[in-house]
Structure 1
Amino acid sequence: MDSADNHPWASVSILDESPLNSRDNPCPILIADDLPLEAVRVFRSAFSDVSVLASRDHTVPGLLAAAEGVRVVVTTPRYTLDDALFRALPDSVEIIALYSAGHDHVDIEAARRHRKAVINTPNVLADSVADLAMTLLLGAARRVVEGFDLIRSGTWSGFAPTLLLGRELRGQVLGIYGMGSIGREVSTRAQAFGMNIAYRSRTQLPRSVEYGARFIADDRDFLGSCDILLLSASLTPHTRKFLNAERIAWLKPGAIVVNISRGELIDDNALIEALMSGHVAAAGLDVFDNEPTVDPRYLRMPSVFALPHIGSATVEGRVSMADVLVEGIERLLVGEEPSNRLA
């Protein structure tokens, strides 16, 4: 366990078997990853037979061995759920509960072929991720990495009027690529900072929920309006490498790029070149292509404010994810159709 996980908010249950007052539902459930203790308690308060896979067994063989006789497997993006894994799962497994909102690591068609129900956790992480989006946006705009390095290195020589001049947010245009629930929450927060909002989505939102944001249907016009670009679209074949060299050139000189979606939305070579040339002034990145590997060039750039994919990492968010999965599992077990079903 990383030392960063020793924070009192970050309790993780691995071997915790403390009894809880459950609803005495005997459905056997396997939690195949380390979850926060409070999230595990949500499952154990609803079901009387919940086991947690030990960290040493966080492998596909470990999962398959532990899933024997289990009806529900709770998984995370640690596991790629492809046709081979669905084929190898024990026949007892009926439900895959994804402890994530994203499902690009799951072959949904394979799940259907193998008659495995799949549910996820949509629409419960918008506040957590939107909060972090503002953190990244502010960190990049106010040159937080450079300031932190001055303090840590002991080289700060005192206040100076020219020291680390950044950008105010008021009056800036925040362009949101992907105006789903997270994008809308970021829009609300950014407007409180006095920002103007433009957005690009597959379709325009009803005016009743745009809340002053301006829809721009053309990529070039949209990107050309952005002082700060926020990537919050889902990863699809259409959005993969959306931010490439051509589109970066359409951004205003000195624009800031923030990514809270998936690293694959960005062509790393193109963004790094733009950062080196100054066409993109700074970037706030919580996600990366080929995670957990990060292109080392980003780490050498003081204009890059980077975090390790923690957009949804709040106590409230993690507990809400468990609540949503428990409700979905309970509905499936009685033959009902949960709203968060993917397969």
Structure 2
Amino acid sequence: MKPYVFITRKLPEEAIKPLLEKFEVHMWEHEAISVPRDVLLEEAAKADALFTMLTEAIDEELLTAGKNLKVIANMAVGYDNVDVAAATRKGIAICNTPDVLTDATADLTFGLLMTAARRIVEAAELVKQGNWQNWSPLFLAGKDVHHKTIGIVGMGKIGETVAKRATGFDMNILYYNRTRKPEAEEKLGAVYVSFDELLSKSDYVVCLTPLTPETRGMFSREVFRKMKSSAIFVNAARGAVVDETALYEALMAVEIAGAGLDVFEREPIRADHPLLTLPNVVALPHIGSATLDARTDMMQLCAENIEAILEGRAPKTLVNREWLTRVRS
């Protein structure tokens, strides 16, 4: 029998053509509705491979149910929804989709920064609602981006690409990361600083750090108090790195000037969430990599990783390197 692949969202068949040609493939029938947990567990129990989204919890329960699982391809760079250690113990390869979405996510991140700085959403809505009645010298005046200081927290590939965008605006670039990036410093003029120094000096604090036990809730009320009162906070990483109550309180107390958010602790965010009541918050529905090109590339990379594993080859983007060592030993 052909290996069985379950895909947790409805995808264009062209993007997963190799899988359809070589394996038995079943897709959840909805594009915009998450697969129910009970269905996912049932499918995992008979699947050789899972093609998942970041909305699915790939935990011990699911991995135990998947007795035949050889690979899980997660359509995201981050894999905080996956218990990687448990998967490795069970001999299951975990793959993600780095690189192919770097530029798209960096574009969105910088666009979010500019949108929050220049009050673009406020201005667009004012026009649409028929409230543009006059003009004054400080009418919808925002903040300059050019020649200001951007502080990037999490200087991975996306962070470096955002920094590259910032050079076009003659921005001063600070960054904080677990490890220094000498090449980024040389090529982009980025300056490595402590977290506290970044907070105190940046006009724009951009969060691009992965979600880990160490980074969960790292942007607390104390952290926001260390930022300039004129600063804008941008988060295009994961919602849970931010204490959302603390962010709301900081904005209400004018401890920071505004926020641009593409991610939230719980997604989709509730329409009555306090952050959404504030005019100086730009909120997007987690669309960092949402271009047709990037999303298609992500789908194809997931398909290629599954195909490789099921055919006995090393995948292109393996998260748990220990798995490869075990397979080869």
Please indicate, yes or no, whether the TM-score normalized by the shorter chain is above 0.5.
yes
Distance 1:210 1:41, change over 3 A: farther
Contact 2:105 / 2:158 at 8 angstroms: preserved in 1?
yes
Residue 340 in structure 1 maps to residue 317 in structure 2: yes
Contact 1:42 / 1:319 at 8 angstroms: preserved in 2?
no
Q: Which residue of 2 aligns with 1:197?
A: 173
Amino acid of the residue matched to residue 328 of structure 1?
A: N
> What is the rounded CA distance, in whole Å, between the counterparts of 1:224 and 1:182 in structure 2?
23
Summarize deviations over 1:95-123 as a string: whole Å, max 9, x none: 11111211101111221232222211122
> What is the rounded CA distance, in whole Å, between the counterparts of 1:311 and 1:84 in structure 2?
30
> What is the rounded CA distance, in whole Å, between the counterparts of 2:137 and 2:99 in structure 1?
44
TM-superposed CA distance for 1:137, in Å, is 0.6
Contact 2:44 / 2:62 at 8 angstroms: preserved in 1?
no
Amino acid of the residue matched to residue 53 of structure 1?
A: W
> What is the rounded CA distance, in whole Å, between the counterparts of 1:31 and 1:260 in structure 2?
26
Distance 1:68 1:220, change over 3 A: closer
TM-superposed CA distance for 1:291, in Å, is 1.9
Residue 28 in structure 1 maps to residue 23 in structure 2: no
Amino acid of the residue matched to residue 40 of structure 2?
A: L
TM-superposed CA distance for 1:256, in Å, is 0.4
Q: What is the RMSD computed on CA atoms of the aligned residues?
A: 2.2
TM-score where L is the length of structure 2: 0.89
> What is the rounded CA distance, in whole Å, between the counterparts of 1:336 and 1:313 in structure 2?
30
Q: Which residue of 1 aligns with 2:325?
A: none
Residue 328 in structure 1 maps to residue 318 in structure 2: no
Q: Which runs of 4+ in 1 moved over 6 A?
A: none
> What is the rounded CA distance, in whole Å, between the counterparts of 1:160 and 1:185 in structure 2?
37
> What is the rounded CA distance, in whole Å, between the counterparts of 1:250 and 1:57 in structure 2?
39
Contact 1:229 / 1:255 at 8 angstroms: preserved in 2?
yes
TM-score where L is the length of structure 1: 0.85
Q: Which residue of 1 aligns with 2:54?
A: 77
Q: Which residue of 1 aligns with 2:140?
A: 164
Summarize deviations over 1:174-221 as a string: whole Å, max 9, x none: 100001010111111121122121100011102366523333332211
Unaligned runs of 5+ in 1: 1-24
Unaligned runs of 5+ in 2: 321-329
Contact 1:174 / 1:226 at 8 angstroms: preserved in 2?
yes
Summarize deviations over 1:24-46 as a string: whole Å, max 9, x none: x95432212133555344643x6
> What is the rounded CA distance, in whole Å, between the counterparts of 1:239 and 1:287 in structure 2?
15
> What is the rounded CA distance, in whole Å, between the counterparts of 1:61 and 1:71 in structure 2?
18
Helix, strand or coil at the partner of 2:72: strand
Q: Which residue of 2 aligns with 1:244?
A: 220
> What is the rounded CA distance, in whole Å, between the counterparts of 1:98 and 1:197 in structure 2?
32
Contact 2:44 / 2:65 at 8 angstroms: preserved in 1?
no
Amino acid of the residue matched to residue 306 of structure 1?
A: A
Contact 1:53 / 1:66 at 8 angstroms: preserved in 2?
no
**Equivalent of 2:244 in 268, 275, 282:** 268
> What is the rounded CA distance, in whole Å, between the counterparts of 1:47 and 1:141 in structure 2?
49
